């Protein structure tokens, strides 16, 4: 018996992260209480919030520090939501992809690290420009986003 190995085309075709990502950046400071992070997500209808370290008041540098997802909130909800902060709960180190990376690369990172959200970085500025979630990838797989 001969075994034939075939390579199947990726469900993502030639799509890039920019084709599927959710644009825009919603953020909070590391010391933000989780209950407030949950409120931000609910009011903005998003599944993840960036965590930025704004530094000292006289420092204009803003550092991307982490990301709190809805799943992180669910896991933390069994504890004291008022005592925990975004710093305590955010995923660090933050996994990043560039908006011009392939969706195959993004899916590989999600699978390899067991995460459902990736920070999307604009390659020309180096700044966050949005979030790519597993739901965004599901939309591509089902054909809801052109490739």
Full set of structural domains in the chain with CATH: 17-141 (3.10.580.10)
**pLDDT the model gives residue 4:** 43
Contact assessment for residue 66 and residue 86, using Cβ atoms and an 8 Å cutoff: yes
Mean pLDDT for the stretch of residues 102-118:
93
Chain-wide mean pLDDT for the chain?
A: 83
Q: Lowest-confidence range among 17-31, 99-113, 132-146? A: 132-146
Alpha helices in the chain (DSSP H): 17-20, 34-44, 70-76, 86-89, 103-113, 134-141
pLDDT-derived band of residue 3, with 50, 70 and 90 as boundaries? very low
pLDDT-derived band of residue 6, with 50, 70 and 90 as boundaries? very low
Question: Which single residue is written with the structure tokens 């998003």?
Answer: 46
Mean pLDDT for the stretch of residues 5-15:
61
CA distance 38 to 33: 9
Enclosing H/E stretch for 48 = strand 48-53
Question: CB neighbours of 89 closer than 8 A, spacing ≥ 6?
Answer: 34, 37, 68, 72, 73, 75, 76
**pLDDT the model gives residue 143:** 81
Peptide bond into 143 cis (omega under 30): no
């Amino acid at each position: 018996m001969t075994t034939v190995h075939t390579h199947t085309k990726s469900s993502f075709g030639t799509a890039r992260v920019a084709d599927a990502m959710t644009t825009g950046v919603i953020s909070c400071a590391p010391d933000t209480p989780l209950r407030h992070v949950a409120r931000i997500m609910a009011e903005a209808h998003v599944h993840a919030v960036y965590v930025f370290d704004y530094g000292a008041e006289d420092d204009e540098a803003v550092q991307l520090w982490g990301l709190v997802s809805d799943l992180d909130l669910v896991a933390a909800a069994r504890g004291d939501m008022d005592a925990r902060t975004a710093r305590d709960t955010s995923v660090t180190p933050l996994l990043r992809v560039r908006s011009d990376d392939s969706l195959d690369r993004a899916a590989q990172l999600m699978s390899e690290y067991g995460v459902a959200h990736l920070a999307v970085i604009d390659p020309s500025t180096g700044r966050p420009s949005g979030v790519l979630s597993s739901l965004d990838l599901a939309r591509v797989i089902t054909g809801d986003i052109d490739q």
